[in-house]
Every structure is written in structure tokens, then in C-alpha cells.
Amino acid sequence: MMGRIISFLLIGIAGYYVYKKRFSIMNIILSNNLIRRGFVSAIFSIPGVRNKMMDTVISEAD
């Protein structure tokens, strides 16, 4: 029981730290060209995301 409480506490602290440093973590991860290319292609493979992004880009250009 005590081990479970400590485990939840440590997961909560780690989650808070990741949330607090989320932009720094994303910058570190996306600074690698290969990872960035894979991330962008994975996002664009989600149905509707590509159309929504392209509509946003084209509508702002007008």
C-alpha cells in the first residue's frame, strides 16, 4: 500500500515537471531533423489535420 502511494506521488511529480518544462522538452526533441520530420508526417497523417492546416494557411494568405 505504501509503495503504491509513493509510486503515484512520484508519477505526479514527474508529470508536473514535464508539464512545467513542456516547451523546453519539445524544443530539444524537435531540434533533431529526423525526429522533427517524423513528427510532422505523423501529425499530417491524422485525418482532417492536413486539410485544417492547409485551410488556415491559405485563408491567412488572402
Mean pLDDT for 27-49 is 88
* Structural contact between residues 17 and 11, judged by C-beta atoms closer than 8 angstroms: no
- DSSP annotation of 57 reads H
Mean pLDDT for 31-56 is 86
* Structural contact between residues 35 and 29, judged by C-beta atoms closer than 8 angstroms: yes
The predicted structure's pLDDT at residue 60: 61
Q: Which residues contact 43 (CB under 8 A, 6 or more apart)?
A: 49
The predicted structure's pLDDT at residue 8: 94
pTM, 2 dp: 0.51
Considering just the CA atoms, what is the radius of gyration of the chain in Å? 18
